[in-house]
Structure 1
């Protein structure tokens, strides 16, 4: 039984390694080879690439089994290295998405997003006031002004539901559940999260883990896209692939962050009283803010001054 479990575990690890590192790495190495052989001057010359492959195939070394094995091992090793580099760079991209505004560059980006949001909010409020006045006055343009106010609201909401605090929207979205739970319930999500996680069902945990994995995969896709953008210096079609990958990764990352944040907030809303029950705190008829404050103080291991 143990050997069967180890075999199944090894098969899963190999499958994940192949999907996450080897296959994207092999594709990238193929693009590197194509860039080196063709370059900008012959970017579309498939016959040139085919002739280069035929030359390799006709060389005496290609008929040696040892040489073929060594080359195959080198290619797999190179693919694994490229995949590991993309994975590390993807972790950096993920950290950058969630970064606090430390340093002049990140602070500038956060301030820029904040100014854009405040301008959009001012435009929405002005349009809303104009629509309200037209409605009260009974003017014919009231419906048109209401539509303008609705569009201004959509423009502001696209930047974020509240004033941005992070350099990138993903960071604001991931931080939103903690801020909302604190304002609504005085609950410290950071302190309560491990306990809420233990109370969650297996299906809920799987949904959260899947959303979190999609965020990581999106950051890794951006990392691969950055690699192809660099490769575009030698073969410009690679830059197109890189631009598509980065754009897709950013969009997927936003969607994954949105899903993860919504699931996190929903889990806290649904299980905050279950958490109080598990900790032996009486909550019948207790206000949410009072209960949240009590939970926060208990989970932070704070004690009242006697």
Structure 2
């Protein structure tokens, strides 16, 4: 039984290693080799690439089994190192997507998004007023103005659903459930999250974990895209792969952040009563702000006002 378990575990580890590190790393190393051999001057000369490969295969060293094993091991090791580097860079991309506006560059990006949102909000409000006035007056272009207002609302929503605070949209989307729960119920989601996680069903946890893994995979895809853009310094076609990977990674990151945020807020909405019951907090007929504030005090272990009026 133990050997079967270890065999299955090693098989899964090998599959993940191949999927996450080895295969993407091998593809990157192949592109790197192509870039170094062809360069910009012979970017499409596949015959030159084939001749180089044939010359390498015909060398005396290639007939030695030991040399072949060493080269294969070196290539696999290089692929694994490359994949590990992409994973590390992907973790940095995740941190950047969720970063607070600290430092001049991030503050500038956050302020720029806030200005764009305010401009889109003003355009939406103006279009909404115009559409409402046309409806009241029975104007012939009321439907057209309504469509314009809907498009302006969509333009604003593409930036953020609320006034943005983060440099990137993913940070705002992931922070939105906590902000909404605090405003609606006075609930500190950061303090409540570990308890809500323990109350969640296995299926709900699996959905949340899947969304979180998709977010990580999207950031890692952006890291690979940055690597291919770097290869474009030697072989410009690599830029095509880099741009596609970056655009796809950002789009997948948006979708994963949206899914994770919606699931997080839904979990809190559905299990707020269960959390109150588990924590021994009386829950009346409705989930109101008083219940959320009591739960927050219990979860934060707040015992009352401290000297100087602060809360501990």
Displacement of 1:144 after TM fit?
1.7
Counterpart in the other structure of 2:73: 73
TM-score by length of 1: 0.98
Query: Does the Cα contact within 8 Å between 2:192 and 2:296 map onto a contact in 1?
Result: yes
TM-score, length basis structure 2:
0.96
In 2, Cα distance between the equivalents of 1:120 and 1:59? 65
After the TM superposition, which residues 26-41 of structure 1 pair with which residues of structure 2 at under 5 Å, given as runs?
A: 26-41=26-41
Partner Cα distance (2:148, 2:5) in 1: 62
Q: CA deviation at 1:288?
A: 1.7
Match of 1:285 in 2: 285
The within-5 A match list for 1:14-53 is 14-53=14-53
Q: Report matched runs for 1:141-290 at 5 Å.
A: 141-285=141-285, 287-290=287-290
Distance 1:33 1:133, change over 3 A: same
Distance 2:73 2:106 in 1: 42
Q: C-alpha displacement at 1:282, in angstroms?
A: 1.6
Q: Cα offset for 1:145?
A: 1.4
Number of the residue aligned with 2:303:
303
Q: 1:287 & 1:109 partners in 2: Cα distance? A: 37
SS in 1 for 2:237: helix
Write out per-residue CA displacement over residues 215-247 of structure 1, whole angstroms, 9 at most, x where no aligned residue.
000000000000000000111110110000000
For 1:132 and 1:241, locate their aligned partners in 2 and report how far apart those are by CA, in whole Å. Answer: 47
Query: Residues of 2 paired with 1:159 and 1:65: CA distance?
Result: 58
Question: 1:287: how far off?
Answer: 4.7
Change (3 A) 1:215 1:287: closer
Q: Which moved more, 1:287-296 or 1:27-36?
A: 287-296
1:50 and 1:286 mapped to 2: Cα distance? Answer: 72
**Could you tell me which residue of structure 1 aligns to residue 60 of structure 2?**
60
Note the residue ranges of structure 1 that are not aligned, 5 or more in a row. none
Distance 1:133 1:103 in 2: 45
> In 2, Cα distance between the equivalents of 1:97 and 1:134?
42
1:262 and 1:287, CA in 2 relative to 1: closer, same or farther beyond 3 A?
closer
- Hey, what's the Cα distance between the residues in 2 that align with 1:144 and 1:305? 57
Q: Distance in 1 between matches of 2:167 and 2:305?
A: 39
Whether the 8 Å contact between 2:273 and 2:287 is mirrored in structure 1 is: no
Pairwise CA distance, 1:304 = 2.2
Aligned to 1:118: 118
Distance in 2 (CA, whole Å) between partners of 1:232 and 1:106 is 27
Q: Does 1:135 align with 2:135?
A: yes
Distance in 1 of aligned mates of 2:305 and 2:41: 77
Distance of aligned partners of 1:169 and 1:259 in 2 relative to their CA distance in 1, 3 Å threshold: same
- Of the structure 1 ranges 148-157 and 224-233, higher mean CA displacement relative to structure 2 is found in 148-157
Q: How many pairs align? A: 306
Residue in structure 2 matched with residue 101 of structure 1 by the alignment: 101
Distance 1:139 1:261 in 2: 41
